A and B are shown apart, each in its own frame.
Chain A
Amino acid sequence: MKQNYLLEINNVSKNFNGHPALKNIYMNVKHGEILGLVGENGAGKSTLLKIIMGVQPASSGSMLLNGKPYKPQNPREANNAGVGMVFQEQSLITNLTVGQNIFLGDEKRFMKYGLIDYKKMYDEARIILDEVGLTDIKPEKYVRDLSFAKRQMIEIAKVISHAKSVNNALILLDEPTSVLNDEEVKQLYSDIRKLVEKGHSIIFVSHRLDEVLEITERIYVFKDAANAGEFITKDVTEKDLYQAMVGKSTSGEYYNIDKQITPKDDVVLEVKNLSAFGSFKNVSFELHKGEILGFCGVVGSGKEDLCYALCGDIKPTEGKIYIHGEEVSLRSPSDALKNSILLIPQERNEEGIFGILDVTSNIAASNLSRLTKYGIVSVKKLVAQAKEWIQRLNIRTQSHKTNLNTLSGGNAQKVVFAKMLASNCEIVILNHPTRGVDVGAKTEIYQLIRRMAEDGKSVILLGDTLDECIGLSNRVLVMKDGFITGEFDASVGNKPDNLDIIQCMM
């Protein structure tokens, strides 16, 4: 019985520089259906949505929309075909009105004597707003005067307006409820249901499994960039979903578990009730000498901002930080460096390396003041320092004079590590240290992290995958929606199950 699907995804794969983000994905969406899509960070959900929206092309495979080949070159084409997406980041222009935002780019329809006929535009906007249940919002109102939640709904309205010419729109929602409170979530549900009644379909991506179970009819699970299950919602529980999302544990040898040391008792860093308005709240923990403390959580759980707060980039709004028992106020990353804390950031190109400078300058970046004698920094010493680390970390580069933007991801990351090691800081925050790094370099970096702990450094680790986090850490803290929701011992022989951790994450 061949069903008539709204969207069919056939064997779609996506590669970034040889690194697979999607592997042979199959998916279909029925007419008038709410489809759920769940999976860990990096499982491929956002990548697939971007391909459906035309933000980036698939590397291979094909898609069918209403039975016809569908290959959007840009979001505009996707819109015209009836596909719309509400991204996690807002895309409304705050100083324009609701109506103007909805029809941004589409004004030709309302032109009268070369000027915009606002009456006509707002009348049509009124219809669309009513369709989405926003009956109390006037289209003449400026977006800047509306609440965040209302703006979210207008984003949906904007997407609907493009689909007006098509009977069946496909709407992609990426984490739509992350900033909504309970009441607003209920409102969103009812709006979604109304849309579906009219014949449109929705792909609902969220890490809140309880919500996915409540609103969807079918659920796809992605794991490690591939399909990991298709379920009928009423037949499945949260636990079943967890099971499907969790990857096969990589062998312990990969993370050098045999090299994991027991941390000392000295508390190097203590955090009490640390909060950053709108990001995380009441975070408290201790970090011991030689310890690798892992943090797990989905995007938006607050763990990334926690890293920024600990390295001095974000100022916490509440709480205290103690280093070796003394309270410190980290007003900037240079303050933090003076207190022997350094961050290795997630976005290497934007925050980690100086692409147009050479290896020597990159490695020296955090160590300039330490090498200064009588106000002068000897260039010879900097070159010697660079050569030393190139050798010790096995960095593959033509010379210490090569520009960073010619190095591969793995070697660039090694340079970032060299910068940190050269600075001899005590507390290291590793934010996804193996992201965009090839397998060979990954292994070397794992060994490096073990050596760091042996040498007495204390590490806060945000792992690329759950396995990595569990495998490398002595202890694991789990964060969800800005709070710490779980703590697990991860000593050798007592590593927690992925399942337990995921339950706290989602």
Chain B
Amino acid sequence: MSIGKLKLNISKNDLLSQINLITFILLIVVFYIINPSFLNNYNLKTLLLGMAPLLVMACGATYVRLLGSLDLSMGAVCSCANVLLVTLFPYTGFLSYIIVTIFGILTGLVLGFIHTKYKVPSFILSLGMMNVYSSIALLIMRAPVPVPKDERYLIDWGKISYGIFSLMTILALIIMIIFYFIQKATPFGRSLNLIGANERAARISGVSINKTKIIAFMMCGMTSAVAGMMLTAKLKSADPASGNAYTLLAVASVLLGGTSMTGGTGSILKTLVGVSMVTVINNGMTIIGVDAFWSQIVFGSLILLSMVLTTDKKSRNLVVK
């Protein structure tokens, strides 16, 4: 337990953050060189707009990851929210947004409840629920359908923008700031770090483990739903598979940002960096004309890489399954 050895420990986590920042800048430079239109106003606006749903989803995902868990149903809830919103439009107008948000919260409640009461590992539980929500989305709408003209006014807000910043992007940033604030300055938010750092110690210290976990999952469900609603405004249509690809991207964003396996070390701000990286990589690959399948390969590899870089040295003695 010498001080020397542990200085290394601390800086390893920050190492990832530093690598990220450098890589981020490098990527922008490289993409710009290959295709200068990468940094023009139009592309920047597209970039920032594209970032919005992912950023929102990644905020909720960060909370879950801080606990040490995983919610693989995010994308499915997102798709479901998208489809549900458009279906509700003719009946409940603007109120639909609130209803769908509640739907998202409820999906999180289900996850959190089963996870804490029955001790079902989050990955398999959320995988199972992903199946359920995918099915629901497909049952509601079998194929993509554009938002009918009569209801266009409900998604017109998606068109508003101030220079390169769309209203949607600003909304996402506001949500991110709120999530950051909650994490740093509420008992719930600080408990997330405690549980992730050492759940057993958190329990003994009197932290309400179950309550905190359920709330975290509820917030994750909510952000998935909000992301889905943003997609509706962005794509101007209902697509039962619209959100599915986002799960991988959200998980990659959180991990790349540096919020690691061991929880405790991680925050919403780090996720912002992660989301930026993922968006830039995605967008950049499209701009320079790389084929779509590279996206999966790249992000899968990045996830692996970030996990290796953030492995806590102390976990050498820990049994990893």
B200 near A355: Cβ-Cβ < 8 Å: no
Measured CB to CB, the closest approach of chain B to A415, in angstroms, equals 12
What's the nearest-Cβ distance from chain B to residue A1, in Å?
48
In the complex, chain A residues whose CB is within 8 Å of the CB of B314: 355, 405
For B189, give the chain A residue with the smallest CB separation: A377
Minimum CB–CB distance for A373 against chain B, Å: 11
Chain A hits for B10, CB < 8 A: 403
Residues of B contacting A366 with CB < 8 Å? 205-207
- Give chain B nearest CB distance to A315 CB in angstroms: 13
Q: Which of B1-9, B31-39, B228-236, B239-247 contacts A (4 or more CB under 8 A)?
A: B1-9
| B284 within 8 A of partner (CB) | no
Between-chain CB contacts (< 8 Å), 7 pairs: A334-B207, A351-B198, A354-B198, A377-B185, A403-B6, A406-B3, A408-B1
Which B residues touch A408, using CB under 8 A? Answer: 1
* Interface presence of A337 (CB below 8 A): yes
* Contact present for B194 and A405 (CB under 8 Å): no
Whether B142 is near chain A, meaning CB under 8 Å from some CB there, is: no
Q: How distant is the Cα of A378 from the Cα of B262 in the complex, in angstroms? A: 25
A353 contacts chain B at the CB level, 8 A cutoff: yes
- A289 contacts the other chain (Cβ, under 8 Å)? no
**Chain B proximity of A87: nearest CB distance (Å):** 18
A residues within 8 A CB of B208?
332, 334
Q: A385 to chain B: closest CB distance in Å?
A: 13
Query: Does A333 count as interface, using CB distance less than 8 angstroms?
Result: yes
Pick from B194, B198, B201, B264 the residue with the most CB of A within 10 Å: B201
Residue interface bits B188-225, CB-to-A below 8 A is 1, else 0: 00110110011011111111111000000000000000
The 3 A-B pairs at the shortest CB distance, nearest first, are namely A337-B206, A368-B187, A354-B197
A365 to B202, Cβ gap below 8 A? yes
Q: Are A377 and B190 in contact (CB under 8 A)?
A: yes
Q: Is B45 an interface residue (CB 8 A)?
A: no
Contact A376 B265 (CB under 8 A): no
A42 interfacial by beta-carbon distance below 8 Å: no
Distance, CA A376 to CA B188, complexed state (A): 10
Chain B CB within 8 A of A311 CB:
yes
Assuming A361-B193, A368-B191, A406-B6, is B206 touching A336 (CB within 8 A)?
Answer: yes
- Contact-residue size bin, chain A (C-beta under 8 Å from the other chain): 35 or more
Q: Which of B6, B194, B203, B204 contacts A361 (CB 8 A)?
A: B194
CA separation between A357 and B192, bound complex, in Å? 12
Interface residues of A in 6-60 (CB under 8 A from B): 17
Q: Are A333 and B203 in contact (CB under 8 A)?
A: yes
8 A Cβ contacts from A354-396 to B: 354-357, 361, 364-366, 368-369, 372, 375-379
Find the B residue at minimum CB distance from A353: B201
* Contact A356:B265 (CB < 8 A) given known A311-B204, A361-B190: yes
B40 at the interface (CB under 8 A from A): no
Residue A423 is within 8 A (CB to CB) of chain B in the complex: yes
Contact A350 B186, CB 8 Å, known A334-B209, A342-B206: no
Q: Which residues does A use to contact B, with CB under 8 Å?
A: 17, 311, 313, 332-334, 336-338, 342-343, 345, 350-357, 361, 364-366, 368-369, 372, 375-379, 403, 405-406, 408, 419, 423
Q: Taking the nearest CB of chain B, how far is it from the CB of A346, in angstroms?
A: 10
CB distance from A259 to the nearest CB of B (A): 28
Interfacial chain B residues near A375, Cβ < 8 Å: 186
Cα of A338 to Cα of B208 in the assembled complex, Å: 11
Residues of chain A contacted by B209 (CB below 8 angstroms)? 332, 334
Convert B6-23 into 0s and 1s, putting 1 for each residue whose CB lies closer than 8 angstroms to a CB of A.
Answer: 100110000000000000
Partner of B262, one of A356, A372, A423: A356
Q: In the complex where A364-B190, A377-B186 touch, is A354 in contact with B264 (Cβ < 8 A)?
A: yes
Name the residue in B185, B205, B208 with the highest tally of chain A Cβ atoms < 10 Å from its Cβ.
Answer: B205
For window 242-265 of B, CB contacts with A under 8 Å fall at: 262, 264-265
CB neighbours (8 Å) of A338 from chain B are 206
Among candidates A311, A313, A342, A379, residue contacting B185 with C-beta atoms closer than 8 Å: A379
Contact A378 B185 (CB under 8 A): yes
A356 touching B264, Cβ below 8 Å = yes
Apart from A354-B198, A375-B186, what 8 extra A-B contacts exist at CB < 8 Å? A313-B204, A351-B201, A356-B264, A365-B202, A368-B207, A376-B186, A405-B9, A406-B6
Count of interface residues, chain B, beta-carbon cutoff 8 Å: 31
Q: How far apart are A330's CB and chain B's nearest CB, in angstroms?
A: 11
Closest chain B CB from A150 CB (angstroms): 28
Most buried by A among B10, B202, B206, B209: B206
Please tell me if the beta carbons of B203 and A332 are within 8 angstroms of each other in the complex: yes
Judging by beta carbons under 8 Å apart, are B185 and A351 in contact? no
A408 CA to B6 CA in the complex, in Å?
A: 12
Pick from B6, B184, B205: contact of A365, CB below 8 A.
Answer: B205
Contact A351 B200 (CB under 8 A): yes
> What mask results when residues 88 to 132 of chain B are scored 1 for a CB within 8 Å of chain A, else 0?
000000000000000000000000000000000000000000000
List residues of chain A with CB within 8 A of the CB of B207: 334, 365-366, 368
Residues of A within 8 A of B202 (CB): 354, 365
Roughly how many angstroms separate A345 CA and B197 CA in the complex, as a whole number? Answer: 17
Residues of B within 8 A of A423 (CB): 206
Q: How many Å lie between the Cα of A405 and that of B3 in the bound state?
A: 9
Complex Cα–Cα for A333 and B312 (A)? 28
Contacting B184 at CB < 8 Å: which of A355, A372, A379? A379
Say yes or no: A354 contacts B187, CB within 8 Å: no
Complex alpha-carbon distance, A337 and B262, angstroms: 26
Contact of B206 among A334, A350, A376 (CB under 8 A): A334
Whether A350 contacts B190 in the complex (CB less than 8 A), given A336-B206, A379-B185, comes out as: no
CB distance from B39 to the nearest CB of A (A): 37
A345 to B203, CA, bound (A): 11
Residues of A within 8 A of B6 (CB): 403, 405-406
A333→B204 contact, CB < 8 A = yes
Q: Cα distance A423–B207 when bound, in Å? A: 12
Say yes or no: A356-B200 contact (C-beta < 8 A), given A334-B209, A364-B190, A369-B187: no
Question: How many Å from the CB of A358 to the closest CB on chain B?
Answer: 10
Could you tell me the distance between the alpha carbons of A265 and B194 in the complex, rounded to whole angstroms?
38
Whether A356 lies near B205 (C-beta < 8 A) is no
Do A352 and B194 have beta carbons less than 8 Å apart? Answer: no
- On chain B, the residues within 8 Å of A333 by CB distance are 203-206
- A459 CA / B37 CA spacing, docked (Å): 70
Q: In the complex the two chains form, is A350's CB within 8 Å of B200's CB?
A: yes
Give B198's nearest chain A residue, CB to CB. A354
Tell me the nearest residue of chain A to B262, going by C-beta. Answer: A356
Docked CA distance A144–B191 (Å):
39
Residue of B nearest to A341 (CB): B206
User: Nearest chain-A residue to B203 (Cβ)?
Assistant: A333
A311 to B186, CA, bound (A): 25
Pair B187/A350 contact, Cβ less than 8 Å: no
**What 1/0 flags go to B167-199 for Cβ under 8 Å of A?**
000000000000000001111001101100110
Question: Would A350 and B201 count as touching, CB distance under 8 A?
Answer: yes
**How near does chain B come to A403, taking the closest CB pair, in angstroms?**
6
A-side contacts of B186, CB under 8 Å: 372, 375-377
B205: A residues at CB distance < 8 A: 333, 337, 342, 365-366, 419
Beta-carbon contact of A345 and B204 below 8 Å = yes
